Amino acid sequence: MWDVIEAALDAARLTGATYADARVVSTRQQTVSVADERLDAAETSDSTGIGVRVIADGSWGFASSSGPDLTAAVRVARDAVAIARAGSRVSGTPVRLAPVEAYRDSWQGLCARDPFDVPLEAKIDLLLAADTALRSESAVKITRATMGFVSVHTFFGSSVGSRIEQQHTESGAGVVAYSVSEGEVLSRSYPNSHGGNWLQGGYEVIEGFDLLGNAPRVSEEAAALLTAAPCPSGTTSLIIDGSQLGLQVHESVGHPTELDRVLGDEAAFAGTSFLGLDDLGRLRYGSDHVSITADATVPSSIGSFGFDDEGVPGQRDFLVTDGLLTGFLSSRESALSIGRTSNGCMRADGWNRIPLIRMTTVSLEPGTWSLPDLIADTEDGLYIETNNSWSIDDKRLNFQFACEIGWEVKNGQKTRMIKNPNYTGITPHFWGSCDAVCSAEHWQVWGLPNCGKGEPIQIAHVAHGAAPARFRNVQVGVGR
């Protein structure tokens, strides 16, 4: 594929591009899903193409096509330059990029057992068995068991001189049971909601989840939710489990620290950020207990890579240090606005998309508490698990999350189960109310393979490490 990359870069240069990068990306996917003891889907798919991004006349242009041969490479490069020139008719300051070294390197993610070599019937059998176990409770009327695999092979070249080849495989799976009664549908998932958990790795990831072993508990909890108490309304102490806290980090720290949002580039679609450039090093994002990192080097995380799609090495950076805003997620272009070089967050979700600033593994760093100690230390509050719904405003300030399940905490004890717990808050106030974070023993990476951003919409695979944490004076039971 290097000849195709070279042809694209040459064509871009000869057509007048002052910068160019080209990516040939081949993606292979498999989805297997079971519903109500029947096979819902068994599909493999592949997609290959080339995307060329250029700067010409001071403006960006990007063109892409399937069928990445030499002819397509030249045509796409020329199209990208023509598009850039058209865009320069409504341009501002010419695009400038922070410097990056030229790398000639390769990177491969961890994968012990290639999931595409595992027979399809073994996958179907596992899901059907898990699905049957999910139906052990009669109140459970709807069941789903899914697994998926993605393998990505990328060749990247840039006019800076980089030539980088990367390969990785991701595996994910999950089960969900729905209990249904008149006017009410309640879900319980494992290992996470919205398709389960995803990690970089092969079939060993699926085996590690033990879907079959966890399905009966999931079924029991789904059934129990039907008779659980509704979420009380008011202000209370809230202990949030790691999976939900991962999504809280995602929505209220990850997205607002994306520098393209801060600069207004996503204003019309997903929105901007409550953060400004001047907040760097000044704004109290949270309490002293809150430190948040962006780390593209976490083993087995779907937020990890060797180089981003601008050829910048994956790296670990602090976004929030002991409660203080200390960093943004950046690109080569946006990093100039804060006088830094890129911290390597530009990723595209395929050959036909431009790289955007995306989260890597954005994590709440672990604290010192054990979860039993944290619950024992809480006189009156709620402990909640597993996301059910999420929403946040266009500046990433006002959020509202709902979870699948919760328990009241009274005098240091987990007591009665509650259904449909939800909570709302304002981002810096909420993080400022954090008074305890559990330890590394409870810390886990949660893969999130459905982060939507940009137009045309791109779905990024990102991740979040989190352990349970406690927040004071949180409004719960909203609209209940």
Partner 1 sequence: MSLLNAEDARTLAARVATIVSADEAEVVVVSKESALTRFADNRIHQNVSECDTQISIRAVLGAQTGSAATNRLDEDALRACATAAVDAARVSPADPDFRGLPAQTDLRHRVGAMRTPETFGAEQRADTVRSVVEQSRIRGLHAAGGVSSSVETVAVSNSHGVDAGMTVMSVRATVLSSGDGAGTGWASYFGSSSSGLDAIALGDEAATLALRTSSPQDLAPGDYTVVLAPEAVADIVDFLGYMGFSARAVAEGRSFMSGRIGERIVSDAITISDDAFDAHSCGLTFDFEGQPKTTVPLIDSGIAIGPVTDSYWAARTNTVNTGHALPAPNAIGPLPLDLAMAPGDATLDALIASVQRGVYVTRFHYVNVEDPIPVTLTGMTRDGTFLIENGTLTSPLKNLRFTQSAIEALGTVHGVTAQRRPFQTMLGCAIVPGLLLGRWTFTGQTE
Query: Which of these ranges, 117-125, 152-160, 285-293, 299-307, lies near partner 1 under the rule CB under 8 A?
Result: 117-125
Q: Which is nearer to partner 1, 83 or 110 (CB)?
A: 83
Shortest distance in whole angstroms from residue 263 CB to partner 1: 8
Contact with partner 1 (CB under 8 A): which of 301, 304, 388, 444?
A: 388
Q: Which is nearer to partner 1, 49 or 254 (CB)?
A: 49
Exposure string of 88-118, with b = 16+ CB inside 10 Å and e = fewer, is: beeeeeebebbebeebeeebebbbeeebeeb
Q: List the interface residues with partner 1, window 199-228 (CB under 8 A).
A: none
Query: Within a 10 A sphere around the Cβ of 451, how many other Cβ atoms?
Result: 19
Exposure string of 180-219, with b = 16+ CB inside 10 Å and e = fewer, is: eeeeeebbbbbbbbbbbbbbbbbbebbeebebbebbeebb
Contact with partner 1 (CB under 8 A): which of 77, 150, 152, 354?
A: 354
Shortest distance in whole angstroms from residue 92 CB to partner 1: 3
Sheet architecture: strand order including 324-325: 324-325, 316-321, 292-295, 362-364
Whole-angstrom Cα distance, residue 454 to residue 348? 10
The answer to whether the CB of 461 falls within 8 A of the CB of 302 is: yes
Asked if 138 touches partner 1 (CB under 8 A), the answer is no
Asked if 155 touches partner 1 (CB under 8 A), the answer is no
- Closest among 158, 165, 162, 150 to 1, alpha carbons compared: 165
Q: List the interface residues with partner 1, window 159-198 (CB under 8 A).
A: 178, 180, 183-185
Q: Which is nearer to partner 1, 169 or 352 (CB)?
A: 352
Asked if 9 touches partner 1 (CB under 8 A), the answer is no
Asked if 63 touches partner 1 (CB under 8 A), the answer is yes
Q: Mask: binding to partner 1, 434-473, rule CB under 8 A, as x and -?
A: ---------------------xx-----------------
Q: Which is nearer to partner 1, 393 or 441 (CB)?
A: 393
Q: Which is nearer to partner 1, 133 or 371 (CB)?
A: 133
Q: Mask: binding to partner 1, 256-295, rule CB under 8 A, as x and -?
A: -------xxxxxxx-x--x---------------------
Shortest distance in whole angstroms from residue 427 CB to partner 1: 9
**Among the residues of 345-437, which ranges form H helices?**
371-376, 427-432
**3-state SS assignment for residue 326:** coil
- Taking 3-state DSSP, the helix, strand and coil percentages for the chain, each rounded to the nearest 5, stand at 25, 40, 35
Contact with partner 1 (CB under 8 A): which of 6, 18, 82, 376?
A: 82
Query: Which of these ranges, 242-250, 309-317, 369-377, 418-426, lies near partner 1 under the rule CB under 8 A?
Result: 418-426
Q: Which is nearer to partner 1, 291 or 331 (CB)?
A: 331
> Where in 162-282 does DSSP place strands (E)?
163-181, 184-190, 197-200, 229-230, 234-240
Asked if 234 touches partner 1 (CB under 8 A), the answer is no
Whole-angstrom Cα distance, residue 401 to residue 405? 12
